[in-house]
Amino acid sequence: MLAKPVPDTTGQERLGPDFRVDRAASPAVVNANDDYALEAALKLRETAGEGSVTLLAMAPATAPDTLRKALAMGADSGVLVTDDALAGSDTLSTARVLAAALGKLDYDMVLAGADTSDGGTGTIGAGIAALLGLPYLSYAARIVPGGGRVRVHRISPTGFDVLDSPLPALIVATQALGEPRYPSLKGIMAARSKTIQVWSLADLGLDPATVGGATSTTRVLRTQAPPPRAATRVVRGPADAAAAELVTFLAERRLI
Amino acid sequence: MTAPGPTAAFRLTDEQRDLRDAVRVLARERVAPRAAEIDRTAEFPWDLKELLASQDILGLPYPVEYGGLGADLLTTCLAIEALSAACATTGLIVAVHELAALPIVMAGTADQKTRWLPDLAAGRKLVAFALTEAGAGSDAGAIATRAVRDGDDYVIDGSKRFISQGSVADLVTVFAVTDPGGKRHRNLSCFVVETDRPGFSVGRLEHKMGIRGSPTAELLFDGVRVPASNLLGREGEGFSLAMRTFERSRPGIAAQAVGIAQGALDVAARYANERVQFGKPIADFQMIQAMLADMDAQTEAARALLYTACAAIEAGDGDAGRWAAVCKLVAGDTAMRVTTDAVQVLGGYGYVDDFPVERMMRDAKITQLYEGTQQIQRLVVARSLLAARR
Amino acid sequence: MAGIVVVGEVGGDGHLARISAEVATLARSLGSAAGVAVRGLVVAADPAIAAAELARYLPNVESVAAPELADHVPAQRIATEAVRVAADADYLVLGASPDGRDGAGIVSVLLGWGVLANATGVTWEDGGPVVEMSVFGGRLDTWSGFAAGKGIVTVRPNVVDATEQGSVGRVTTAAGDGRELVPTVRIVERVAESTGAAPIEEARIIVSGGRGVGGPDGFRIVEELAEALGGAVGATRAAVDAGWIPYAQQIGQTGKIVKPALYVALGISGAIQHKVGMQTAGTIVAVNRDPDAPIADFADLVVIGDLFEIVPAVVGALRARSA
pLDDT in tens, C103-148: 999 999 999 999 999 999 999 998 899 999 987 777 788 999 999 9
Residue A192 C-alpha, separation from nearest chain B C-alpha, in angstroms: 8
Asked if CATH classification 3.40.50.1220 holds for the domain at C200-322, the reply, yes or no, is yes
Q: Which fold has domain B14-121?
A: Butyryl-Coa Dehydrogenase, subunit A; domain 1 (1.10.540)
Question: What percentage of chain B reaches a pLDDT higher than 70?
Answer: 97
Q: Are C16 and C53 in contact (CB under 8 A)?
A: yes
Distance separating the N- and C-terminal Cα atoms of chain B = 37
Place domain B239-388 in its CATH homologous superfamily. Butyryl-CoA Dehydrogenase, subunit A, domain 3 (1.20.140.10)
Question: Which of A69, A181, A185 is the best residue to mutate to test the B interface, defined by the most B CB atoms within 10 Å of its own CB?
Answer: A185
Tell me which residue of B82, B83, B95, B89 sits closest to B127, measured CA to CA. B95
pLDDT digits (tens, 9 = 90+) for B240-286: 999 999 999 999 999 999 999 999 999 999 999 989 899 999 999 99
Taking an 8 Å cut-off on Cβ atoms, the answer to whether A246 and C301 are in contact is: yes
pLDDT digits (tens, 9 = 90+) for A9-43: 233 333 322 232 333 333 333 456 788 888 999 99
d(CA A68, CA C245): 34
Whether the pLDDT of residue C247 is over 90: the answer is: no
pLDDT grade for A58, boundaries at 50, 70 and 90: confident
Q: What are the chain B neighbours of A181 within 8 Å (beta carbons)?
A: none
d(CA C108, CA A147): 33
Question: Which of B12, B52, B54, B56 is the best residue to mutate to test the A interface, defined by the most A CB atoms within 10 Å of its own CB?
Answer: B56
Inter-axis angle of helices B32-41 and B357-365, to 10 degrees? 70
pLDDT grade for B7, boundaries at 50, 70 and 90: very low
Per-residue confidence (pLDDT) for residue A69, from 0 to 100: 82
Q: Which residues pair with A224 in a beta bridge?
A: C141
Listed range (A61-65, B91-95, B366-370, C318-322) with the worst mean pLDDT = A61-65
Calculate mean pLDDT across residues C246-267.
90
d(CA C228, CA C317): 10
d(CA C158, CA C41): 21
Per-residue confidence (pLDDT) for residue A67, from 0 to 100: 82
HSE of B88, CA atoms in CB hemisphere, 13 A? 34
Q: Which CATH architecture has domain C4-174?
A: 3-Layer(aba) Sandwich (3.40)
Cα→Cα distances B266→B82, B93, B283, B345, C225, Å: 13, 22, 13, 12, 40
Residues of chain B with CATH 2.40.110.10: 127-236
* ipTM of this complex: 0.87
Domains in chain A: ranges and CATH: 12-215 (3.40.50.620)
Taking an 8 Å cut-off on Cβ atoms, the answer to whether C317 and A247 are in contact is: yes
Q: Are C276 and C257 in contact (CB under 8 A)?
A: yes
Give φ, ψ of B159 to 5 degrees.
-150, 150
> How many other C-beta atoms lie within 10 A of the C-beta of residue A142?
16
Residue scoring higher pLDDT (B154 or A123): B154
- The catalytic site residues of B sit at 371
Whether the pLDDT of residue B390 is over 80: the answer is: no
Inter-axis angle of helices C98-111 and A91-103, to 10 degrees? 70
Q: What are the chain C neighbours of A96 within 8 Å (beta carbons)?
A: 109
* Highest-pLDDT range among B159-173, C151-165, C199-213: B159-173
C-alpha dihedral (A26, A32, A38, A43), degrees to nearest 10: 180
Closest partner residue to A184 (CB to CB) among B14, B15, B55 is B55
The Cα diameter of chain C in Å comes to: 61
Tell me which residue of B269, B163, B251, B284 sits closest to B214, measured CA to CA. B163
Q: Does the CB of A105 have a partner CB in chain C at under 8 Å?
A: no
**Type and span of the H or E element at B120:** helix B110-121
Per-residue confidence (pLDDT) for residue B1, from 0 to 100: 45
Domain residues of chain C, as ranges? Answer: 4-174, 200-322
Per-residue confidence (pLDDT) for residue A26, from 0 to 100: 34
Whether the pLDDT of residue A114 is over 90: the answer is: no
Listed range (A155-159, B117-121, B369-373) with the worst mean pLDDT = A155-159
Q: Helix, strand or coil for residue C19?
A: helix
d(CA C93, CA C258): 19
Residues of chain B with CATH 1.10.540.10: 14-121
Calculate mean pLDDT across residues B61-82.
97
Whether the pLDDT of residue B40 is over 80: the answer is: yes
Residue scoring higher pLDDT (A36 or B101): B101
Taking an 8 Å cut-off on Cβ atoms, the answer to whether C108 and A249 are in contact is: no
C-alpha C291, offset from chain centre = 32
Q: What are the chain C neighbours of A33 within 8 Å (beta carbons)?
A: 254
Q: Are B132 and B163 in contact (CB under 8 A)?
A: yes
Tell me which residue of C305, C214, C322, C318 sits closest to C262, measured CA to CA. C318
Residues of chain B with CATH 1.20.140.10: 239-388
Residue scoring higher pLDDT (B149 or A8): B149
Listed range (A8-12, B115-119, B199-203, C228-232) with the worst mean pLDDT = A8-12
pLDDT grade for A119, boundaries at 50, 70 and 90: low
Round the average pLDDT of chain B to a whole number and report it: 95
Phi-psi region of C155 (alpha: psi -120 to 50; beta: other; left: phi over 0): beta
Taking an 8 Å cut-off on Cβ atoms, the answer to whether B22 and A183 are in contact is: yes
d(CA A151, CA B122): 36
Q: Which residues pair with B160 in a beta bridge?
A: B219
Q: What are the chain A neighbours of B15 within 8 Å (beta carbons)?
A: 188-189, 192
Q: Does the CB of A186 have a partner CB in chain B at under 8 Å?
A: yes
Listed range (A144-153, B104-113, B265-274, C239-248) with the worst mean pLDDT = C239-248
Cβ-based neighbours of A41, under 8 Å, separated by 6 or more: A14, A16, A19, A21, A23, A53, A75, A109, A111
Cβ-based neighbours of B192, under 8 Å, separated by 6 or more: B103, B104, B112, B116, B171, B172, B173, B174, B226, B230, B232
Per-residue confidence (pLDDT) for residue B259, from 0 to 100: 98
d(CA C7, CA C20): 8
Residue type, C173: T
Per-residue confidence (pLDDT) for residue C195, from 0 to 100: 61
Taking an 8 Å cut-off on Cβ atoms, the answer to whether C186 and A163 are in contact is: yes
Listed range (A12-16, B222-226, C213-217) with the worst mean pLDDT = A12-16
Calculate mean pLDDT across residues A71-83.
89
Round the average pLDDT of chain C to a whole number and report it: 92
Chains in contact with C, counting 3 or more C-beta pairs less than 8 Å apart as contact: A
Per-residue confidence (pLDDT) for residue B14, from 0 to 100: 86
Question: Which of A29, A33, A175 is the best residue to mutate to test the C interface, defined by the most C CB atoms within 10 Å of its own CB?
Answer: A175
Taking an 8 Å cut-off on Cβ atoms, the answer to whether C196 and A179 are in contact is: no
Q: What residues in chain B have their Cβ under 8 A from chain A's Cβ atoms?
A: 14-15, 18-19, 22-23, 25-26, 54-57, 59-60, 69
d(CA A195, CA A75): 10
Q: Are C92 and C7 in contact (CB under 8 A)?
A: yes
Q: Are A78 and A196 in contact (CB under 8 A)?
A: yes
Taking an 8 Å cut-off on Cβ atoms, the answer to whether A182 and B15 are in contact is: no
Q: Are A189 and B15 in contact (CB under 8 A)?
A: yes
Highest CATH level, class, for B127-236: mainly beta
With vertex at residue B149, the alpha carbon angle to CA B146 and CA B154, rounded to the nearest 5 degrees, is 70
Per-residue confidence (pLDDT) for residue A27, from 0 to 100: 30
Q: Are C213 and C221 in contact (CB under 8 A)?
A: yes
Whether the pLDDT of residue A6 is over 50: the answer is: no
Residue type, C293: A
Taking an 8 Å cut-off on Cβ atoms, the answer to whether A184 and B69 are in contact is: no
Residue scoring higher pLDDT (B125 or C159): B125
Calculate mean pLDDT across residues A196-218.
87
Calculate mean pLDDT across residues A184-192.
91
In our burial notation (b when 16+ CB lie closer than 10 A, e otherwise), range B367-389 reads bbebbbebebbeebbeebeeeee
Give φ, ψ of B255 to 5 degrees.
-65, -40
**Which residues of C, range 44-63, sit inside 8 Å of A by Cβ?**
none
